[in-house]
Each structure stands twice: as structure tokens, then as C-alpha cells.
Structure 1
Amino acid sequence: MLWSWLAGLGAAVAFLHFAQKLLFPYFWDDFRFLAKVVRNGIQVGLCQRRGQLLTVLDAFLSHAKRQPRKPFIIYEGVVHTYQDVDRRSSRVARVFLNHSSLEKGDTVALLMSNEPDFVHVWFGLAKLGCVVAFLNSNVRSHALLSCIRTCGPKALVVGADLLGTVEEILPDLPKDISVWGMKDSVPQGVISLKEKLSTSSDEPIPRSYHVVSSIRSTCHYIFTSGTTGLPKAAVVSQLQAMQGSAGLWAFGCTADDIIYITLPLYHSSGALMGIGGCVKLGATCVLKKKFSASQFWSDCKKYNVTVFQYIGELCRYLCKQPKREGEKDHQVRLAVGNGMRSDVWRQFLDRFGNIKMCELYGATEGNIYFMNHTGKIGSVGRTNFFYRLFFKFELIKYDFQKDEPMRNEQNWCSCVKKGEPGLLISPVNAKHPFFGYAGSYKHTKNKLLFDVFKKGDVYFNTGDLMVQDENFLYFWDRIGDTFRWKGENVSTTEVATVTGMLDFIQETNVYGVAVSGYEGRAGMASIILKPNKSLDLKKVYEQVVASLPAYACPRFLRIQDKMEMTGTFKLQKYRLVEDGFNPLKISDPLYIMDNLEKSYVPLTKEIYDQIMSGEIKL
């Protein structure tokens, strides 16, 4: 009797296991992931109730005390232990304590490339309770000035290789900003931080300087293109910084992992998830000044890398490299990032081995995040009944002609059906706050939708179109006045402003066009010339190259006689985007950027065919 009962139980268990695998193949993956989310939320909640608000800096200081000799950063072959970074950052803090008027809560802007001193200065200022604003090292001229003015810093710290960029704008900087350079010999008007560090004490800074009273207090400004205009300073709270630092942990990384960071630290991916993620784990990171496709795998082998961060373009570049022997001979097991195209995803796995690709979705200033912990190709995240308890969102219908969400006769928005693209929005409330941008409230307001489904509700507008199947989400496209190219957000308004400074241009409409084989969209500027003025292609080239980051320079020009407008008097982009850049379909004159000629040159059918075949690289 007992044996037959056990046999029956075994058969039932086997059947349930088979049914689970067939009907709910991701059940245990989902269970483990959501259990982590719940556990992390409970821990944060308990700390808040006890008045113990433990920040990313607190986690770092704990590791520095517990494992002082463990490597934290490996940079160009040099090892910086947790103790090394702790002491060096304390030196930075001591310099500003003794030689500046900085106080807790003041903002300091940081303009520096990927290097250990980026972390030293960041953590040193954090030890004083300062808000650190990460400036994009590609931004220059009036855009850089705008970023600095927006976040209102008391001081600006500049890396040695970027002092020339700041020297150009020194006369225009607000007079109350002190400028510090990480170099012995600095321009007039700049203080040498490197010189003062050589004589500074590394005595620990009392915790009273950086203890936080609210988990929602600001700890960073990270600049993003937003939807209009120049880069805006997204407010990053202590809560967001801690959430970002939990990303690697949530995907299964541990303290034993060695994490390769080639993404820029001025972005939230490299700083909050990369460096912050290593801090949460107590892990080691290999920091690269700049991504190199030719050195990537040799670095991974040299430093025994087990995890790396990516954007879609990074993996595409790796797949375009000439094939070599032993490409699967490495220890990488996980890759965490976003923007991976399905075809590149498959090609990457086929070529480089069984690496679990952990795709995610999120924005620096956003209040909604998705994580694809299952490794399903093409998806940016999971969604089902249980996920919606923690990650609330809707996909609503969007009018591409009017460039705005659709509303019915009662002026309410409506959700799309499964399988249809819709605008991703997320409710803004006490549990899911939106901290917005520094400066004018209009920038924050522009990212919000009001009275969406009922009177008084408020939603964050991601500006992204998504498609949902039964349990997965897929990125479809971006809307509005930004598009992505080379892994960066490009502000169409900024590009149009720069080109509009030329005296022969009357109006510019900037948008992105799809190019076969590339992630994102390449920039295209549709231009109307002033009456009786002629087009100077060399001047257009010189203007955009001098004033814009390389990724923001429009690759194509289109010369039109008039601009089409939307019903709300916005420049019409939809038809232009659909037209693309094919000279056989477009009767207007077309030009392409030529870096060898240092000008724009006519876009012929031959050049177009070479772009489409991959002979010409953009």
C-alpha cells in the first residue's frame, strides 16, 4: 500500500513538473527574481523604519573596512583596492574641507573621462554630503555651459584631458564657481586639485558629514537629452541610486565576479549600475577608459572577466570584428545591458559562446524598469500579474501624425491590444515617484501626462513605444524629439539650434532615419535656405563638428523648399522619417557627411548602395 502510494505521488510530481515546464517554463526564474525584489524592498523598508538609511557610499565604506585589500578597480593593469579608493577619496574630501567653502548639500559638477579619479572625486565629494553632477565628456561650448548653469554647482572638477574643453568657456562661467583641475599645470583661473592631493591627509571623514535624513534626497544629477532642447539635469535620489546598484545583484552577479565596465561613467548605466553595482556586491571591476572592440576579448581573458556591461552597439561592433581562433575561450558568463537587437543577439551567442544576456529597460529619470532575467532573445523584460504588483505600467495608443497620445471623445487615453505598439507610461505616485529635472518645472511637466484614464491621474511618459505579447515586452521605437544613435540619445532641438546659427539657413528639422545593419537611427537634417542665400556644405560640416558630440552630428542633409507642419503647429517628422535617405525615392537634394573631405557631399545612388551593403560605414 505504501509503495503504491509513493509511486502515485512520484507520478503526480513528475506530471506537475512536466506541466510546469510546458505551460509555465519561466515559473522558477520568475519566482526567484521576484523573491529577490521583495526581499530587497523589505530590507530597505526595515532600514527606513529604524532610521538607518544606508546609501551606496555606506555600502562602500563597509566593504573598505571588511575587505580592505580586495581589488575594487583595475585600470590599465593597476590595481586599486577598496582601501586605496577609500583613502584617496578621503584625500579629495580633505582638500575641499580645507580649501573651499563647500557645505553639505552643495552641488559639484564632475567633468572627467573613465579613470579611477572619477570614482575618487565622486566618493570624496559624497563623503562631504555633496550632490555630484556627472557632465557628459562629449558636450562642449554653449551646451556645456548650459549643463553647468542648470545644476548650479559651487565647484567644477575637471579631468586632465578635458581642461582644454573647459578653458574655452572659462570667461563665461558664473563667477561663484571654483574650477579644479586634475593636473599639476593648470590654466589661469583653475586650481590644481592634483597638487593639493599630494599633501592632503587621508584621515577618514566623520559619517555625520554624509548621513542622509531622507531616502528621497538628491545625491546626483545625471544629464539626459530629455524630449526637447539641450541636455537636462535628471534628479537622482538616494533611492534611485540604491535601486540602480541592485541591478547586477538582481541578475545573479556575486562578490566573486569580475565586472568589465567600458560604458561612460557619466551615464547611469556605467556609474549607478556598474560602479554602484560592484559596491553593492563587494565585487571587482575592470574599468576601461574607452570601449575598444579589438581589445575587448583580450582584456576579458587577461583579467578573468566574468560579467560585462553592454549597449546594443557594443555587441554589434564585436560581431563585426574579424573572426579569430579561441573566441569562446573566456570566462564570461553574464552580460547586462540594453538595446540588443535580436539578430545581433543570436549572432553574438553563436560566435562567442553560452553567455546569458541580461537585457533591461529603464531611463535615468524614469520610474519604471524592466528586466529580462530569462535570457529570451529580443525581450527587454518580463510582465505578468505578479510583475504588475511591483512594476506598474500601461501601453497606450499613439497618434503618429499628431505626434501625441490618442484620446477618445471623452478625452481619455486607451490601451493597445497585445501585439500592437503602444506608448509606455507609468503612474506617478508615492510608491513610484518621478523626481524630474533641475531647473525650470516646465522640463519636468513635459515628461508627464495628466488626466490619462481618469480625472487627476498622472503618468510618466517614457517617450518609448513597446509591444507586449503574453508575458514579455519588446522595444519598438522612440517618439518625439529624441532618437538613439551610437548608444546615445540625440536631441533634435539641440542639433537644429546649432545648424540654425548659420546665416544661410532659415529653418532646420532634425530627425533620425533607419539604416540597415545599425542600432538606432542616423541623424538627418532637413534644411530650408534663406531667400537669395546659397548652401555652403563646408560651413555646415565645420559648424556641427565644432559644436556637437560626434554621435549627434547629422549624417545626412536634405534640402527642402518648405516645411510641413502638424495640426498642432509642430514640424512634421513622421513622413520625413518614413522617406529615409534613398535618393531614388526623394527628389530633394541629399548630402552625406564626408569626414575625409571635411564637408557634406552629394548622396548618390552608388553611395547609397554602398551604405546599404556595408561597404561604407557610418
Structure 2
Amino acid sequence: PGGLSDSPGLGEPLKAPAGCARRLQQALLRSFWAPMLSSWVTGAAAGIVFLHLVQKFLFPYFWLDLNYLLKVVIHGLTLESYRLRGKIFTVLDRFVKEAERQPRKPFILYEGNVHTYQDVDRRSNRVAHVLLQEGALKKGDTVALLMSNEPDFIHVWFGAVKLGCVVAFLNINIHAKSLLHCISSCEPKMLVVGADMVGTLKEILPSLQKDIDVWVMTKDCTLPNVKTLLDKLEAASEDGVPVNLRSVNNLKSSVLYIFTSGTTGLPKAAVITHLQVLKGAAGLWAFGATANDIIYITLPLYHSSASLLGIGGCIVLEGATIVLRKKFSASQFWSDCKKYNVTVIQHIGEICRYLCNQPVKEGEKDHKVRMAIGNGLRSDVWQEFLVRFGDLKMCEFYAATEGNICFMNHCGKIGSVGRTNFFYELFFPFDLIKYDIQKDELIRNKHGWCEKVKKGEAGLLISKVNVKNPFFGYTGSKIHTEKKLLHEVFKKGDLYFNTGDLMVQDKENFLYFWDRIGDTYRWKGENVSTTEVSDVIGMLDFIQDANVYGVPVPGHEGNVGMVSVVLKPNRSLDLKQMYEQVVMYLPGYACPIFLRLQEIMEVTGTFKQQKFKLVSEGFNPSSITDQLYFLDRSKKSYVPLTKELYEKIFSGQLKL
């Protein structure tokens, strides 16, 4: 009755409404696909977890390596883009740009004074105008700079480069013959001397070449033929210098000479190009520093670490700030960091050791330093530094001023100077080869080729010289440049740069510094040329032979200087005169701390002075029958090295 008439007849299929059919279809699909999707998701998740575990255990540094490699590629592409566009953009160009973009941003904080980017730009303009008008400098001339850490070091540096000049950084610790050698080797048109270095200038002025224009950073001076710069800066224009004066057509053109102690002889002036400055200045950025960081620089500005990595690095970061100190002070270090809200510190290994040797104080971790960048940090000091001063990011690197290879420890592996991998070696090819330490020579096989060492073995670090990784050498004699090159190492026609450093590469591809080779040892963060030291000692009329070498001392980074001497017949050893000679003519770090008096100087089969045996014997008076002496600065003389004195040195009670 009623609605039954609309119902389907017997035998006809039951028709569901359209919406119901769709729901039924979706339900069937869910019942079919849901388990499958679930299994896929589960499988994908398991796969991701598995890959993560594989990466973690087999490739634990993958992401860190990838991040660092990307930075290397980005920096390289940036430089290449400038080249392709025909626009050479130097670090100085970037500084001028930053001075225009953020003129009031602090660039240098020095002894309580703030020097903004605009301040430094304008004062360097004043320097450029004075040097151009009064000194008659022209593009390509060399300006030698003998100044300690102060803002005017940077003003003169930038001012001279704005004129297209090459600036030579002179080591303020060297004197007399060595300093004259450095000045003459870079052939400067002008020498600019800081106010606190006038005493050093007096020593060399009578022997200085007459065609060098000498200026001092004072308002008045009584020295003959010496001009004053400070008074002239007050009246000089601070307007910009024409860009064409500093413009360059090639990044491989020279801009700086930085002196480095090589394996032989007196210091050599390494040629630093605009390209090398750009590479060095990228270091802070590569380690993760930013424009908001405040970098504390206590290292000498005449070194590449402070000037290229520090000053140049702040500029490349697009306007970071520098806290500059005239000289490193262990007692004031953390006070300065707190006072200026320092976030990044630069160091050499010795600085960290000096800080660890300071008396423990409360609140030593109460600072904002988050990153420490440097090299030469010993593993035990590294660990102690972190425990005592906080969990900083320690950024160790390896580089030579004149070298074409650099390693960066972007993973923070304690003790390592850097890390390599397959991709890094494509950009910067290098090898560790077998070296005979006792004979001080390369080991070549019967075919005359060098051989690579196995992982875990110490080998001489060499880096391939090619178009992408050139070696620019030194100024002056080409002999010095040639001595740093190795020909036909693995095959005919190949060419490698000899770093002079023995390194070890472990199974994880981390690299560790092992030792220096040849006639050089490292002390207080400086390379000391044994030839230079022996030449100075050989000037004494009672010395027949002098053999200089470095010996290890517990608790000290590097090796302490020691000299073994043989007297001329019928002459006696004048300890006081010996002291006066080394202190007068050598920088403090190069003065031999220990003196050994021998009757005969031992030589090798090729008539080279025997050093290996002397180094192994050290300076223990209990095991050495020869007379031993110690450089005592309080008594201004060398004094007999007694067993009691030796124990104080060995135990660390007496600081060297």
C-alpha cells in the first residue's frame, strides 16, 4: 500500500543513492590502500633511520663536510663571477663600500677609542693624499711599514694601497742586520715608522739606503733626513682618492709583502696578491663568524693571521668590529673580552697555553666569546682551555703565508689542524711523501720518484702548483722561490710546493701537525731560522762554529732554541758578550735559551752540521758531559745550567 508502488520489483537490483556509492567506493579504496600506504610509510621511515645510522657510523662528518665544501664552492664561484664580468673587487674595495653603507659602524676599538668605518676610511684618505703629494708615490711603488699594533698601522696600510702601492709589513722584533736585509729585499720607495719604533730606526738609519724616503708617525723629529707624518695629516684632505689609482686588472697582482722565516737564511718577503688576501679574508666567514661578531686581535698585524684573517676577515663579513690590542696580555685578556663584549678571539697555540697558566679566578666562563680561531694548539692545552674557559667552538687551521694550501678543522676534532676528503682534494691537490729526517732529504725509490706515506705515518706535506693553485714566491732573488719548489715528484714535469712541514693523516682523513724539517724550528708561535741565528753568533770573534737547533721542553709548545758552539783556538767563552750579541741582533723568540760548549762540531757524511743527535740529547746536565749554560735575562748573561736549574725548567717552576 502507498509507497510500495515505488519500490523495485522482485528480481530487480537494489540501487543505492549516488552519495552512498561514492562512500562505499572510498571505503573499499581505503581498505585496499591504507595497509599498503602504511607499510610504505613505515618502510620509508625505517629506511631514513637506517640511512641516518649508516651516515652516523660510517660517514659521521658528512653534513659538516658538505656545509664546508659548499662554502668553498660559493667563495670560488663569487670570485669567478667577478672575473667573468671583468670587475675586480678587492678587499679594500669592500671596505670602502662598507664605509659608505654603514659609516657609523665601529670598525676598530682601541684603548677605549672607537674608530668607525667612516673614520678609518677618511683618515686613510688623509694618509694617501700626504704620501701622494709629499712623497711623490706612484702606482706600483713599495711602502715599507715598521709599526706595532695601532689604528695608524691600518690607516697607512689602506692609504698606501689606495694609491696602488704594495705595502711591506716589517717585523718589529728584528733589528740591525736582519732589519736592513728585510728593507733592502723589498726595495721600498718609502719607509713609515711608528712613534714607538724610532729607537729601532736610529740603529739602522746610518746604514739605510739613501734613496729611501723615511717618515715617522710623529709631529716632530730631530733625526737627519727624516720626515714627520702626524702633523701633516691634520691639514690633509679626507676626500676620497680616485678609484683608478687603486684599480687592478688582475687579482694575481701584488698588494703586500709579508716576511716569513723560511728553512734557511734571513727572513724572506712572501709575495701576497689580491687573490690571496681574498682567500685569507674568507676564513672567519668559513668558520661561521658574522657581521655581528666582535673580534679580539692581540696578534701582531705584520703577521698574515692578524692582517688577512683578522682585519680582512672583518671587512668580508660585511662590517664586523675589531678590538685591537697593542700587545698580548695574559692577565688582561679576559677582562678585555668582557669589557668589549668580544665574541671571537684569534690566537696561536702559545696564547692559549699562557691563558691556561694564569692563576684561576672566579667567573672565568663569564664572557660572550663563542669562537676561537687560530693554529698551533696542542691537544692537552685545547682540552684544558675548554674545561676552564667554557665550551667554545675551537677553529683550528693550517696555512703558510706564502703557501698555496690551507686546511680548516671545521669539525672541531681536538688536536687536528684540518680535514680533507675526496672533493677537497679535487680543488686543492696535495700529498704526504716519505722523508728522511736524519739525513734531511726526500726519500726517492730506485726510479727516482717520491713515494706517498700510508695513513697514520708522518710525511712531508707538498701541494701541487697549477693555474688554480699558484705559488707566487718571494721578492728579490729567484733562488729563494726555487728552493721551495719540488720538480718531478711523481712523474716528469710535475711541480709541487714544499711546505717544510711533516704531517700525519689518520683513517678519518683528519690531519695533524708533526714537526718542521730543515733548518727551522718553531718557538712562541714564530718560525726561527737556525741559519740566521748561527750567523749572528758567528759574528763573535771567539766563535769558530755555531750549530743552532730546537729542543722540546715539557709544557711548552714548539721547541726551545739551543746553540752548540766550538771556540777558536786559544780563545775563551765570554758569556756576557754572548748574551749581549743575541739580545742585540735577534728578536726575543729567536735568542737561544740554552748554550752547549763542544770541542769538535760533529757533521754528517755530506759535511752538514749534525743536529739530530744534539736534539735527541736535549739539555740535561746529568747526561751531557759538555758544559751547558742558560740565558738568564735577570743577570743579563748566560749562566751555568746546574741540575737544580734544570729541574726548575723541566718541572715548569721556571718560565721560559
1:285 aligns with 2:322: yes
CA contact (8 A) 1:402 1:568 kept: no
Give the C-alpha shift of residue 225 in structure 1.
0.7
- Give the secondary structure class of the aligned counterpart of 1:561: coil
* Higher CA-based Rg: 2
Among 44, 53, 63, which residue is 1:9 paired with? 44
Output the CA distance in 1 between the equivalents of 2:255 and 2:580: 38
Output the CA distance in 2 between the equivalents of 1:529 and 1:258: 54
Spell out the pairing of 1:586-597 with structure 2 (5 A cutoff).
586-597=624-635
- Give the secondary structure class of the aligned counterpart of 1:169: helix
Output the CA distance in 1 between the equivalents of 2:575 and 2:191: 37
1:193 aligns with 2:217: no
- Which AA in structure 1 matches 2:382? W
Output the CA distance in 1 between the equivalents of 2:255 and 2:583: 33
Which residue of structure 1 aligns with residue 518 of structure 2? 480
- Which AA in structure 2 matches 1:545? V
**C-alpha offsets along residues 234-254 of structure 1, whole Å, 9 cap, x if unaligned?**
100111111000010100000
Which residue of structure 1 aligns with residue 614 of structure 2? 576
Which residue of structure 2 aligns with residue 493 of structure 1? 531
CA contact (8 A) 1:305 1:332 kept: yes
Give the C-alpha shift of residue 568 in structure 1.
2.8
Q: CA RMSD in A?
A: 0.9
Which residue of structure 1 aligns with residue 309 of structure 2? 273
Among 582, 596, 619, which residue is 1:558 paired with? 596
Spell out the pairing of 1:214-253 with structure 2 (5 A cutoff).
214-253=250-289
Output the CA distance in 1 between the equivalents of 2:192 and 2:598: 44
Give the C-alpha shift of residue 428 in structure 1.
1.1
Unaligned segments of structure 2, at least 5 residues:
1-33
Give the C-alpha shift of residue 535 in structure 1.
0.5
Give the C-alpha shift of residue 391 in structure 1.
2.1
CA contact (8 A) 1:401 1:566 kept: no
Output the CA distance in 1 between the equivalents of 2:78 and 2:261: 34
Output the CA distance in 2 between the equivalents of 1:279 and 1:570: 47
Which residue of structure 2 aligns with residue 154 of structure 1? 189
Give the C-alpha shift of residue 311 in structure 1.
0.2
- Which AA in structure 2 matches 1:129? G
**C-alpha offsets along residues 505-555 of structure 1, whole Å, 9 cap, x if unaligned?**
001000000000000000000101000001111110010011111110000
1:354 aligns with 2:395: no
Give the C-alpha shift of residue 52 in structure 1.
0.7
Give the C-alpha shift of residue 3 in structure 1.
3.1
CA contact (8 A) 1:512 1:577 kept: yes
- Give the secondary structure class of the aligned counterpart of 2:422: coil
Output the CA distance in 2 between the equivalents of 1:310 and 1:599: 32
Which residue of structure 2 aligns with residue 100 of structure 1? 135
Which residue of structure 2 aligns with residue 70 of structure 1? 105
Among 368, 373, 377, which residue is 2:405 paired with? 368
Spell out the pairing of 1:313-328 with structure 2 (5 A cutoff).
313-328=350-365
- Which AA in structure 1 matches 2:415? G
Spell out the pairing of 1:428-439 with structure 2 (5 A cutoff).
428-439=465-476
Give the C-alpha shift of residue 577 in structure 1.
1.0
Spell out the pairing of 1:304-343 with structure 2 (5 A cutoff).
304-343=341-380
**C-alpha offsets along residues 137-157 of structure 1, whole Å, 9 cap, x if unaligned?**
101111110000000000000
- Which AA in structure 2 matches 1:56? V
Give the C-alpha shift of residue 291 in structure 1.
0.5
Output the CA distance in 1 between the equivalents of 2:49 and 2:455: 33
- Which AA in structure 1 matches 2:284? L
Which residue of structure 2 aligns with residue 206 of structure 1? 242
1:262 aligns with 2:303: no
- Which AA in structure 1 matches 2:350? E
- Which AA in structure 2 matches 1:485? W
- Which AA in structure 2 matches 1:398? Y
Which residue of structure 2 aligns with residue 79 of structure 1? 114
- Give the secondary structure class of the aligned counterpart of 1:508: strand
Output the CA distance in 1 between the equivalents of 2:132 and 2:651: 58
- Give the secondary structure class of the aligned counterpart of 2:122: helix
Output the CA distance in 2 between the equivalents of 1:171 and 1:580: 41
1:54 aligns with 2:89: yes
CA contact (8 A) 1:406 1:413 kept: yes
Which residue of structure 2 aligns with residue 89 of structure 1? 124
1:518 aligns with 2:561: no
Output the CA distance in 2 between the equivalents of 1:14 and 1:330: 39
Output the CA distance in 1 between the equivalents of 2:296 and 2:328: 10
1:604 aligns with 2:642: yes
CA contact (8 A) 1:109 1:153 kept: yes
Output the CA distance in 2 between the equivalents of 1:584 and 1:408: 42
Output the CA distance in 1 between the equivalents of 2:518 and 2:448: 21
Among 480, 502, 506, which residue is 2:540 paired with? 502
Output the CA distance in 1 between the equivalents of 2:122 and 2:305: 25
- Give the secondary structure class of the aligned counterpart of 1:375: coil
- Give the secondary structure class of the aligned counterpart of 2:235: coil
**C-alpha offsets along residues 241-291 of structure 1, whole Å, 9 cap, x if unaligned?**
110000101000000100000000000000000000011112001001001
Give the C-alpha shift of residue 179 in structure 1.
0.5
1:40 aligns with 2:75: yes
Among 114, 126, 129, which residue is 2:149 paired with? 114
CA contact (8 A) 1:425 1:459 kept: yes
Output the CA distance in 2 between the equivalents of 1:519 and 1:53: 41
Give the C-alpha shift of residue 114 in structure 1.
0.3
- Give the secondary structure class of the aligned counterpart of 2:69: helix
Which residue of structure 2 aligns with residue 31 of structure 1? 66
Output the CA distance in 1 between the equivalents of 2:567 and 2:281: 49
Give the C-alpha shift of residue 22 in structure 1.
1.9
Among 446, 463, 468, which residue is 1:409 paired with? 446
- Give the secondary structure class of the aligned counterpart of 1:386: helix
Give the C-alpha shift of residue 188 in structure 1.
2.4
- Give the secondary structure class of the aligned counterpart of 1:69: coil
Output the CA distance in 1 between the equivalents of 2:268 and 2:53: 52
Give the C-alpha shift of residue 571 in structure 1.
1.2
**C-alpha offsets along residues 83-140 of structure 1, whole Å, 9 cap, x if unaligned?**
0000000000000111122100110000000000000000000100000000001011
Which residue of structure 1 aligns with residue 12 of structure 2? none
Output the CA distance in 2 between the equivalents of 1:461 and 1:520: 20
Output the CA distance in 1 between the equivalents of 2:629 and 2:228: 46
Output the CA distance in 1 between the equivalents of 2:254 and 2:231: 30
Which residue of structure 1 aligns with residue 10 of structure 2? none
Give the C-alpha shift of residue 51 in structure 1.
1.1
Give the C-alpha shift of residue 604 in structure 1.
1.4
**C-alpha offsets along residues 53-97 of structure 1, whole Å, 9 cap, x if unaligned?**
111100101100101000000001111000000000000000011
Unaligned segments of structure 1, at least 5 residues:
none
- Which AA in structure 2 matches 1:277? G
Instruction: Name the TM-score, length of structure 1 as normaliser.
Output: 0.99
Give the C-alpha shift of residue 5 in structure 1.
2.1
Output the CA distance in 2 between the equivalents of 1:583 and 1:329: 45
- Give the secondary structure class of the aligned counterpart of 1:523: strand
**C-alpha offsets along residues 169-221 of structure 1, whole Å, 9 cap, x if unaligned?**
11211111101110112222211010110100001011100001111100000
CA contact (8 A) 1:366 1:462 kept: yes
Among 479, 482, 492, which residue is 1:442 paired with? 479
1:455 aligns with 2:492: yes
CA contact (8 A) 1:305 1:331 kept: yes
Give the C-alpha shift of residue 569 in structure 1.
2.4
CA contact (8 A) 1:402 1:567 kept: no
- Which AA in structure 1 matches 2:150? E
Which residue of structure 2 aligns with residue 468 of structure 1? 505
Which residue of structure 1 aligns with residue 334 of structure 2? 297
- Which AA in structure 2 matches 1:335? A
- Which AA in structure 2 matches 1:368? I
